[in-house]
Amino acid sequence: MGASNSKLDRVILELPDDERYFGLENFGNTCYANSVLQTLYFCRPFRDRVLRYAAENPPGYGNENLLTCLADLFLQTSSQKKKTGFLSPRRLINRIKSENALFSNFMHQDAHEFLNYLLNDVSEILAREQKAAASAPTTPKSILTFGRGKDGRSPSLQELAAASTAITSREEDMFDLSLEIEPNCSVTSCLKKFSATEVLDGADKFFCDQCNSLQEAQKFMRMRHLPQVLCLHLKRFKYNEQLGRLSKLSHRVVFPFELKVVNTTPDCPDADTSYDLFGVVVHMGAQPNHGHYVALVKSCGQWVCFDDDQVIAVTEAQVQSTFGQPYDGGLVGSSNGVGVDHGYILLYQRNSPASEAPLPMDELP
């Protein structure tokens, strides 16, 4: 992505002086981690919470864990004197590899699996620390801003309701919404399908504990609370029974720069809220076990591509090129790389009306 380096470097240098744009060193196929870390760093509510944690837990305070390593990396980035360059996330990567065998090799990894592992581990660290503190409240308050549930730390709360007469319902806490994709579709249509009502009849009848019998029912999922940051995962990797392995679905999926999720939140009082796209993790390659990840983030009105240690400005049209190419379906890809760059993880931030004053830090979800 990009035009001449000199032109693009000049675009970044002309951005406001209070922001930093630093690439991350790759330690042998760690692009999956670098791309996720960049999108999280440019998620300002998340970054602010991590930096606040860094200020409250300076080096030497307590034992090292994944969160202290993450906080140290964010602090290094934000405190750089230069506007652009690259850093080494070695301490964080080594910590991740030592704690999780899945990432302790040089194989191609899934950026979505890494994102969920990182957020889950950070949330669990905070819960343990607050539980251990004598003066801490009984309900942990997370730095995570991907929504809020009854326990104060849910990323994205959904309600699963089965049966037309509300026989039963279940609430689940989720970090993101994983969306099934189809050829030549859009995120809006994927969300509509996600929340569609499914009829359970015939061999799929629902067993009702109250009636102690099988009943025809309707099953559907809804978002009960709109998160401050909405993370959408496009399910591009699917098991192919004929091949006996995962295959990449290179479908064209159009994602808007401004999104409303009305069709998944019919009971939300603020269902009409809009979201602005600020981060895209892009998978480059025709197969799930090969390829490369880069991050596209919007900062100060400008889209920037982080390709490991390389940082370049890109246009909105270049972001749109990761929708994928129109085709009839199936797997696509070519040796010259045409049509194999696809948006994989999308991050949207809630767009508050101008009349609303920003929440104080302590009141952010």
Catalytic residue ranges: 31, 292
- DSSP letter at 360 equals P
Contacts of 111 (CB under 8 A, 6+ apart): 32, 33, 35, 36, 281, 283, 293, 344, 345
Cβ neighbours around 79 below 10 Å, total: 10
Q: What is the DSSP string of 194-251?
A: HT--EEE-GGGPEEETTTTEEE-EEEEEEESS--SEEEEEE--EEEETTTTEEEE---
In whole angstroms, give the CA distance from residue 66 to residue 218.
42
Q: How far apart are CA 207 and CA 300, in angstroms?
A: 53
End-to-end CA distance of the chain: 35
